[in-house]
A and B are shown apart, each in its own frame.
Chain A
């Protein structure tokens, strides 16, 4: 899943080292437009729904945070 997420991110902004970066939002590597694309692609790829309330820096600042978010939402959908 991690590699798939990195692939999506590289498509949005190729100039970031996603393995180490933990400030994707805080340092504006992903801006609001990129965020909308990212959410759309994550939803398509992992068949989840990401509500607006989850679109906060904590959930998108690093690949690990995004992975955790996707896993959590996928679990929620199983309820």
Chain B
């Protein structure tokens, strides 16, 4: 078992967990889920799961430590009438030390397991300038499944405890389950403690409605992944693996198909995760909101991997923007450059931190670093261009809400996204640059006319993609227009409901890209 998309998970692991969850008394159900979650992680990562336990113990102890400090503060505050600010500041400083220790420890583990090799590679030419050499090659022991996800969740818990927006949890099992619950451990969503911990621990009975809702959501996720994503993998893998053999047209299509593959893979996996959560009475936050209907790159990131963006906004963007030195800079810049451009100029500092973090979060590689900085430049510059574009449109009497103008903006945003994903998927930054230049200098449609394109993926797979990709588009279009298709299906009678579910599952079974001729693809974000 390597993921949710395996027969062992669907036919053995999940039914066993559901059965155990149902037959045990309600007070024990959460422990069944905890045991299942650690078993799931152990099957995939073996003893490396120990790191997840270390993180849990760490934030559990530090959270209680912070709670104790604040309790002492409250006792002291109750005794005095004046000088409360000084007391608050002194206790906040003590609590902050624990918070910093927790952040350093947890990101320390993440960096040690995921990034040391990359940083030593980056550092070696620098050290070389001074005549030094990187001492030894850094050994890698691998990292447990989900480390990038549960570390973000653990840090957000600790910060929220420090901010006193979440009470420190004295129940070790509840905190452990919040961090390790198997539906999110592969690819998120990066939930907050306040969103899932309590409802997970309740061990709500499984009712027919929730069961259907979860199973429908999971079936849609399987459809996106097996009907679209894993099929497109054939084309993407071939083109990105040996781009030297192909012209710009084939590579450009590769960038487009990879973007669709990644969306169907990642959002499909999110459908499965959210559906699994629903089975056990837990509502995960949504991670996608029809991202390809965005008008700007900035909006795209509010609709794509939403929980990661929200994490960076709450724990990096605002804390940096509202830190004393940056606020001081903002005040100076506002006086000098005005209310619009002043803050925008200074926002570059916080945006840079966000996108550096976002790029590196995706992995230890120069292409990910480039990917993050690419979006930093696009979004920051976009802020400067936007007022001029608005003014230009009103000067020329152009309605920015007119259909054709929105389509133009949408197409421009798609191009930005395709280029970003090309670099993201490239095997290295060098490959990304080479592929991009080939699109610009060697673009040709000849390979489509003479059939070379079918060497990358068969005609049958192209035909299937031409059928299923528009279906995904229509599904998203419905949601974009405010039609909640899943709710509509859920409201149908028993026979219609289940007939639809069976039809989706049968389509996946018959037309799914698995078995002979296909390569099984593990959920793509699980590697990050």
Bound form: Cα–Cα A11–B321 in Å: 20
The tally of residues in B whose CB lies under 8 Å from a CB in A reads 24
Residue A16 lies at the interface, judged by CB distance under 8 Å to chain B: no
Q: Which of B322, B330, B344, B347 contacts A55 (CB 8 A)?
A: B322
B339–A32 CB distance below 8 A: no
Residue B85 lies at the interface, judged by CB distance under 8 Å to chain A: yes
Contact string, B129-166, partner A, CB cutoff 8 A, digits 1/0?
00000000000000000000000000000000001110
Residue B343 lies at the interface, judged by CB distance under 8 Å to chain A: yes
A33–B322 CB distance below 8 A: no
Residue A79 lies at the interface, judged by CB distance under 8 Å to chain B: yes
A40–B318 CB distance below 8 A: no
A52–B322 CB distance below 8 A: yes
B331–A40 CB distance below 8 A: yes
Q: How many A residues are at the interface, by size bracket?
A: 20 to 34
B322–A11 CB distance below 8 A: no
List the A residue with the shortest CB-CB distance to B85.
A79
- B292 CB to closest chain A CB, in angstroms? 18
Residue B319 lies at the interface, judged by CB distance under 8 Å to chain A: yes
Also in contact, A40 and B330, with CB within 8 A (given A33-B344, A53-B163): yes
Also in contact, A36 and B347, with CB within 8 A (given A52-B322, A55-B322): yes
Interface centre among A11, A12, A32, A50 (most CB of B within 10 A): A32
Residue A44 lies at the interface, judged by CB distance under 8 Å to chain B: yes
* A53 partner residues in chain B, CB cutoff 8 A: 163-165
List the A residue with the shortest CB-CB distance to B313.
A32
Residue A37 lies at the interface, judged by CB distance under 8 Å to chain B: yes
- A6 CB to closest chain B CB, in angstroms? 15
List the B residue with the shortest CB-CB distance to A8.
B339
B165–A40 CB distance below 8 A: no
Bound form: Cα–Cα A28–B289 in Å: 14
* A31 partner residues in chain B, CB cutoff 8 A: 298
Q: Which of B84, B88, B331 contacts A44 (CB 8 A)?
A: B331
Contact string, B308-332, partner A, CB cutoff 8 A, digits 1/0?
0000010001110110000100110
* Dominant secondary structure at the B interface: helix
B343–A33 CB distance below 8 A: yes
Bound form: Cα–Cα A55–B321 in Å: 11
Residue B383 lies at the interface, judged by CB distance under 8 Å to chain A: yes
Contact string, A29-65, partner B, CB cutoff 8 A, digits 1/0?
0011101110111011000001111011000000000
Q: Which of B77-96 contact A (CB under 8 A)?
A: 84-85, 88
* Dominant secondary structure at the A interface: helix
* A50 partner residues in chain B, CB cutoff 8 A: 322
Bound form: Cα–Cα A39–B321 in Å: 10
* B327 partner residues in chain A, CB cutoff 8 A: 40, 43
* A37 partner residues in chain B, CB cutoff 8 A: 330, 334, 339, 343
- A15 CB to closest chain B CB, in angstroms? 10
List the B residue with the shortest CB-CB distance to A77.
B85
B383–A33 CB distance below 8 A: yes
* A41 partner residues in chain B, CB cutoff 8 A: 339
A51–B322 CB distance below 8 A: yes
* A52 partner residues in chain B, CB cutoff 8 A: 318-319, 321-322
- B352 CB to closest chain A CB, in angstroms? 14
* B164 partner residues in chain A, CB cutoff 8 A: 53
Interface centre among A12, A33, A37, A50 (most CB of B within 10 A): A33
* B344 partner residues in chain A, CB cutoff 8 A: 33
Give the top 9 A-B pairs by smallest Cβ distance, nearest first.
A79-B84, A53-B163, A52-B318, A37-B343, A52-B319, A36-B321, A52-B322, A55-B318, A40-B330
